[in-house]
Structure 1
Amino acid sequence: MGMNTLARLPMAIAAVAITLIAIYTAGFGVFDEAFLRGGTIALGILVALFASLFGSDDEQVKRSFWGQATDVALIFAIVLSISNFFILYEDLQTGLFELSTFDLFSGWLGVVVILEMTRRLFGLPLFLVTAGALFYCIFGDYLPWIFEHAGFSAEQALSVIWFSFDGIFGRAIAVVTNFILIFIVFGAILDGVGAGQSVLKLVFRLTRRFKGGPAYAAVVSSAVFGTLSGSVAANVVGTGVFTIPMTKSRGFSARFAGAIEAAASSGGQIMPPVMGAVAFIMADVTGIPYLTICLAALVPALFFYSSLFCAVGLQAAKQDIKLAPVKDEDSITAYDYRFAGALGIALSAIVFLLVTGSSPALAGFVAVIISLASGFILNPEFRRDPLQFLIVLIKAGRSCATIIVAVAAIGVVIGAMNMTGLGLRFASLILAASENNVLLSLFFVMAGCLILGMGMPTVPAYLIIVLVMGSAIESMGFSTLTVHLFVVYYGVLSSITPPVALAAYAAAPISGSKPMETAIEAIRIALPGFVIPFFIIFNPSITLVEGFSALTFIWVSIRLTTAVWLITTSLLAFDAGVLPLWQRILRFATAIALIAPIPVVEILSFITALFCIGYQRIFRQRHAATKINL
């Protein structure tokens, strides 16, 4: 064992501890809620700090002396802060305690460490939101107009944010430790044992018969693996290293190859059954049953992916891409079929257990056991080298650490928002700015969601947006379920929205395109996804849950299908031939009009849509006939 390996040992131990705690908690229950929350946060931060201090096996990190000294100081600070939290645990339960100077010092140390790790891992967006919430809590009484509140001292703020179960150690981290981490572990284990590559090969083979082959494979694989991942960027990198080069090899541009992967990976976060783990948080926040949320999200998610399939098919037709011959290296082995079957069994077990009333944690636990067993049985390398098993546990722990730090930061925001009522203030501001115009209010909320969600993983993005924007939409009279789905969609789509566009920045180095060009192309491809939340809000029947009626559902589905087709063809400028500018403008405007829940507008816009589609085909046929006659 070399010195580098020894130096990284603390990080490995902390990462394995997170993974084992997640598995134990999911399978056997919570041993102590406060110690579980505090210990998980401490371990998550330690993993990130040790990785920064020593690097990891796949990273060669050179830190200056002062950088290393800062890391060491942060390690001691978080250990001290969490230890003091544990010491005060019994007093915190009663609520009868008085904070000493040392308590205040240790608490602020912990908050500062979380802020610094948030800045390092997620950059400025989440850091500024977290620091801004803390600043507003303490100094909001000096602000003008609607933003002014009664004011809280630094001690009062800390007593809620750190020394209570309403802030950093509150419900958000509880849901993460109890339900979400086990699914992140599940996804990491699937990748580690080799199931991911086998499934990708199978998907590539199945889609090879279509002109858009690899691009279709990117859409399908990103939906499968994206639903298990709480990070869009991680999903882009995980599947994109295979799908993007294959898509380019078929003749698609580098920009399109990166964009379709970025858009498809983003969509995985809205695809049941896991929805990037956000479904569990939503169930806890809203009190709506988990299965109800999954059912409500299913049809809109299918429409989103249908729009991506349309984009791939139209682009392939526009470029006249030919079918590719099957090569020897593309052949599917029995090994690949077995691994794909193991993944199918694991996902089926999750669905079966959830439908029969088992907890999501138990479903995740069973899926982890199945994936580990399949790794040992089906992967000879995994069997021969036990170190591979340890590496998988470490990678799983590191993936968990990222989401732990993010949710700890969200805990700061939750505590500050609960104290100040900032969400209600935003609701009042939006309604005042839009002069109670519902459509204009929703556009304001959409813009706010896209801004607040930039640069964040799905779970923290959702929590931030719900805290700030949720009250604004609910005050308009919409149902809780449709409001939260509206918020989730734009939180997810923020990952491809410039200027941050995290998914596009992850895809661009793999595709060889420029990040901003990739982001703009991803917006062009996925723009129907920006329309779907409005359909959910105005036509809740599409969720199969809210006010469901078979006839209404069919009519809404027809309108949404038409809108998706019109938007995609207008932006790609192709539908059985190149579209003239007037057709593109008319199609886009008609698609937007199809959203309106006004019967006359619905019918007129649908008739206009039929005209656009029919005219293009008739014109195309006549043009072809004229060329033949000539």
Structure 2
Amino acid sequence: MSNVDNSTGKAGLSEAELQELVAASDSGARAVPGTIGLFIAGVALVWSIFQILLASPWAPYLLPGDLINNSRQIHLAFAIFLSAMAYPLFKSAPKTYVPWYDWVLAIGGATLAMYGYIFYDKIVGNGGLADDTDAIFSLLGLVLLFIAAYRTLGPVMVALAVIFLLYVFFGASEVVPDQIRWAGASLRKAMSHMWITSEGVFGIALGVSTRFVFLFVLFGALLDKAGAGNYFIKMAFGALGHLRGGPAKAAVVGSAATGLISGSSIANVVTTGTFTIPLMKRVGFSAEKAGSVEVASSVNGQIMPPVMGAAAFLMVEYVGISYVEVITHAFLPAIISYIALVYIVHLEAVKNNMPTIGNKAVNMMNTVLGMFFFFAGFAALCYITQFPVRFITSMVPAGSGWVLAALLGAVYIGLLYLASTVPDLEPDDPNSEVVELPEIPKIYKSGLYYLLPIIVLVYFLMIERKSPGLSAFWATFLLFGILLTQKTLKAMFRGEPNAIGKVKDGLMDLVAGLIDGARNMIGIGLATATAGIIVGTVSLTGIGQVMADFVEFLSGGNLILMLVLVAILSLILGMGLPTTANYIVVSTLMVAVVVELGAQSGLVVPLIAVHLFVFYFGIMADVTPPVGLASFAAAAVSGGDAIKTGFTAFFYSLRTVALPFVFIFNTDLLLIDVTWVQGIIVFIIATIGILVFTAATMGWFLTKSRIWETVAMLVIAFALFRPGFFMDMIQPPYTAIEPAAFEEALEAAPVGRDLRVVISGPDFDTLEMKDLTVVLTVPEETGPARLDALGLALVPDGEMVALDEPMFGTPLSDQLSSFDFYGDTPVHISAVQAPANQWPKELMFIPALALLALIAFLQSRRAPAVAAARQKGVPA
């Protein structure tokens, strides 16, 4: 049955059509019955089992060493094989059986993916270099990879990879502009780099997909199969559904929760949207606005820790920090982004005087406090778990694992018994004549045990600091037990007949979850492999530096314009690339450029900030027309116009667009080098700032805003996010020191203090003069030994302080590697700055909040008159 929008008469897609839409994008639209269908499911099942064994602590005992060492090849072989089985090659290709040519492509692609595994001894004997035979088979492997990527990801990814590959072969051609021309590579050299070694297809990105991403995708599929998705949606609707615009607020919170389960924007839209979008339309949201709220909240599920999709794991490898640090830096922007989206929904409801659902008394303060205490309590529970664990570990060091497993099992059985005392949750029909709000006191018991795998995941990630793969393994291992036992134990607790017979149901759920997890990984595996060609091209040809020079030329050396260009590039590429591939491509080409240009502009930009910047705009591509897939999925549910839905969703996502620019210039938002107290203050102020920014963009605060109030609120938001900008106008943040006095200033500075030093000299590649700002943290050594600890060798030359090349392995060796230390013009220190005794930048919060209070006072005085006019039908 289709959903019909009463205002437009357009029909949304049926449930079956929506699931086919998700499948076509995420897991393959081909459904093959009979023996062949069982075989395909069996292959997916084997892939999941292999990945679970690979991630387990017993992998060295359960799997041969050569399988572990060549796991990337096996991972890609499964992905290529299943892509041919699950994704039709053409629109007209059969969807109920596998044609002969797909069997050829599947078997051929899987075999060539494992070429390095099959001929491992030969390749090692050749020193990792391809001979003529290797080169031919490698090229054929690339062709079959491109075919698999085309059918799974679309033509853009393939076209981009082919362009880069052609550049590898024909970079020396006269057709290529002089600025990017290079010597070119032979077929053997190119194929060695791209297919035989771990520099191209089988590089870092595919390694991350193999070691980490699969387990997290599988974790989400199993958690959803267990019933957690419906539980989270019900809880969100029960907590927020009675408020004005309640279904939309429930959609936001529910999508944030299901972001733990689904790394796919489209699946998130369909999972929560089939329930929330019709209810949003009931309370007054248009089809496009209802779809837009769902799109904005579902897409943001990818930036919500602790899972964050595949890109977070890639950041671990690219930035060189732990996964805990990545999610710590990403936490605050994600939280305030969702808070802002709830506020957007609230303002829409207030502006349009929308009705509420149900007869539950509305108490906004109690609701906000309830939500706060729930999430704070959950976080506290994850944190305090470490204390009983440590106690047991110290008391029973040899058998602590078994004791902890028994205690966890006892908690699970207790929570399951609690769940058996209430009916199982069934999905509601949002189109029924009477919509009953779930009552939290009656339903919360039914799914508390779903939190256990999440607690285990967070505990191992945050407290034990285990690897993401091992953390996901233990959480997934617990889900195995839940899926196998929950139905049987509930039936036993309820005294139902044939409780033991439900073991089979649990086993079928587990197998289905394992198959779904594998099918959901096909696109990610192929995206990371294909993106490896672009990464390999950059490392082989050095085109990254050329791209840097080109973008720097376009931006005129202006960092903000450079960031705008990077954002636009991410959005354009995202029109045809999945988020993960988009992130790999743009971060490979642009991150180093932004960091270097920032340093030349005197702004030291942390690497993680730029990676998160690229990631945020990568996910925005799922929203942005004309190819925003999440927007099309939401329009299919709502029956609204897809393009209009996309533009409205982009408007709702303005805070997601603004935040990356903010945290580039104010790294406090990423909780970099802040204490707990400072972190709390940053959270409070940032929340106020994002709410003020939201109110300004919506044109409504306590009532409809006047133009000057909107402008003032934008200024207030800017001051709250970047107080240092205004404080620097009042007091300079740094004191200038003559370069000749640098050594004395370094010796006199206290340990841990930062000195900003501008290094000038010729570029190693272009020989053009450039400036680079580096931050030197004063080491613990004293006197002249501090220079040695930093790797600096000063060569006084009159009034100039020249530098010798830093010693290898010292803090500055990598940062200054782009300078030519052996040319006629010496590399030298051109400026030194020490932090000045500036007033705390937080003082700027006082006038900003005072101005906000004035606006609130003025609006509160005219709000009653506006409300009365609206009651009479007079425009506000």
Match of 2:698 in 1: 572
2:59 aligned residue (19, 22, 29) = 29
Equivalent-residue separation in structure 1 for 2:127 and 2:518 (angstroms): 36
Matches within 5 A, 1:284-323: 284-323=317-356
Which residue identity is paired with 1:39? I
**Is residue 154 of structure 2 the alignment partner of residue 123 of structure 1?**
yes
Shift of 1:563: 4.4
Shift of 1:541: 1.3
Deviations 1:523-579 (A, max 9, x none): 1111011111122111111222x2326787677656644542344234433223333
2:616 aligned residue (445, 470, 489) = 489
**Is residue 871 of structure 2 the alignment partner of residue 617 of structure 1?**
no
**Is residue 592 of structure 2 the alignment partner of residue 464 of structure 1?**
no
Shift of 1:382: 6.2
Matches within 5 A, 1:104-183: 104-142=135-173, 143-183=176-216
Match of 2:511 in 1: 390
Match of 2:556 in 1: 435
Equivalent-residue separation in structure 2 for 1:187 and 1:437 (angstroms): 42
Deviations 1:189-222 (A, max 9, x none): 1112222112221221111232222212211121
2:719/2:726 contact within 8 Å kept: no
1:449/1:469 contact within 8 Å kept: no
Question: Greater CA deviation, 616-625 or 422-431?
Answer: 616-625
Equivalent-residue separation in structure 2 for 1:565 and 1:510 (angstroms): 29
Deviations 1:260-304 (A, max 9, x none): 111111111111111113222211221111111111111111111
TM-score by length of 2: 0.66
Equivalent-residue separation in structure 2 for 1:139 and 1:339 (angstroms): 62
Shift of 1:318: 1.4
Match of 2:748 in 1: none
Equivalent-residue separation in structure 2 for 1:333 and 1:305 (angstroms): 22
Shift of 1:324: 1.0
Matches within 5 A, 1:100-499: 100-142=131-173, 143-325=176-358, 330-331=437-438, 337=444, 340-354=447-461, 355-379=463-487, 383-385=503-505, 386-475=507-596, 476-477=598-599, 478-499=605-626
Question: Greater CA deviation, 375-384 or 133-142?
Answer: 375-384
Match of 2:94 in 1: 62
Question: Greater CA deviation, 302-311 or 167-176?
Answer: 167-176
Equivalent-residue separation in structure 2 for 1:99 and 1:554 (angstroms): 56
Equivalent-residue separation in structure 1 for 2:637 and 2:449 (angstroms): 29
Which residue identity is paired with 1:379? K
Aligned-partner SS, 2:619? helix
Deviations 1:571-618 (A, max 9, x none): 433223333456546655765676655125777877765655554334
- Change in Cα spacing, 1:84 to 1:294, as seen in structure 2 (3 Å) is closer
Which residue identity is paired with 1:521? T
- Change in Cα spacing, 1:382 to 1:359, as seen in structure 2 (3 Å) is farther
**Is residue 38 of structure 2 the alignment partner of residue 5 of structure 1?**
no
Aligned-partner SS, 1:133? helix
Higher relative contact order (CA 8 A, sep 6+): 1
- Change in Cα spacing, 1:622 to 1:262, as seen in structure 2 (3 Å) is closer
Shift of 1:308: 0.5
Equivalent-residue separation in structure 1 for 2:44 and 2:279 (angstroms): 33
1:78 aligned residue (88, 99, 109) = 109
2:55/2:211 contact within 8 Å kept: yes
**Is residue 540 of structure 2 the alignment partner of residue 540 of structure 1?**
no
Equivalent-residue separation in structure 2 for 1:129 and 1:161 (angstroms): 15
Higher helix share: 1
Equivalent-residue separation in structure 2 for 1:608 and 1:333 (angstroms): 40
Deviations 1:375-399 (A, max 9, x none): 2332359634343332222111101
Question: Greater CA deviation, 137-146 or 611-620?
Answer: 611-620
Which residue identity is paired with 2:85? F
Aligned-partner SS, 1:598? helix
Deviations 1:166-203 (A, max 9, x none): 11112221121111101100111111222211222122
- Change in Cα spacing, 1:3 to 1:441, as seen in structure 2 (3 Å) is closer
Question: Greater CA deviation, 31-40 or 412-421?
Answer: 31-40
Matches within 5 A, 1:486-565: 486-544=613-671, 546-548=672-674, 560-565=686-691
Question: Greater CA deviation, 32-41 or 383-392?
Answer: 383-392
1:161/1:167 contact within 8 Å kept: yes
Structure (1 or 2) with the larger CA radius of gyration: 2
Instruction: Give 5+ residue unaligned stretches, structure 1.
Output: none
1:260/1:522 contact within 8 Å kept: yes
2:128/2:197 contact within 8 Å kept: no
Aligned-partner SS, 2:172? helix
Question: Greater CA deviation, 498-507 or 529-538?
Answer: 498-507
Equivalent-residue separation in structure 2 for 1:614 and 1:137 (angstroms): 64
- Change in Cα spacing, 1:54 to 1:132, as seen in structure 2 (3 Å) is closer
Shift of 1:85: 2.7
RMSD: 3.2
Equivalent-residue separation in structure 1 for 2:266 and 2:158 (angstroms): 18
Instruction: Give 5+ residue unaligned stretches, structure 2.
Output: 1-30, 360-433, 489-500, 600-604, 730-843, 872-876
Shift of 1:140: 2.6
Question: Greater CA deviation, 324-333 or 433-442?
Answer: 324-333
Which residue identity is paired with 1:429? F
Match of 2:13 in 1: none
Which residue identity is paired with 2:303? I
Which residue identity is paired with 1:573? G
- Change in Cα spacing, 1:311 to 1:95, as seen in structure 2 (3 Å) is farther
Aligned-partner SS, 2:196? coil
- Change in Cα spacing, 1:283 to 1:627, as seen in structure 2 (3 Å) is closer
Deviations 1:372-426 (A, max 9, x none): 2222332359634343332222111101222111111112122112112233322
Equivalent-residue separation in structure 2 for 1:113 and 1:169 (angstroms): 15
Higher strand share: 2
Shift of 1:105: 2.7
- Change in Cα spacing, 1:448 to 1:551, as seen in structure 2 (3 Å) is farther
2:696/2:710 contact within 8 Å kept: yes
2:270/2:634 contact within 8 Å kept: yes
Question: Greater CA deviation, 4-13 or 93-102?
Answer: 93-102
Q: Number of residue pairs matched? A: 622
**Is residue 52 of structure 2 the alignment partner of residue 52 of structure 1?**
no
Aligned-partner SS, 1:162? helix
Match of 2:44 in 1: 15
Q: Aligned residues: percent identity?
A: 29
Equivalent-residue separation in structure 1 for 2:662 and 2:255 (angstroms): 24
Which residue identity is paired with 2:340? S
Equivalent-residue separation in structure 2 for 1:124 and 1:433 (angstroms): 28
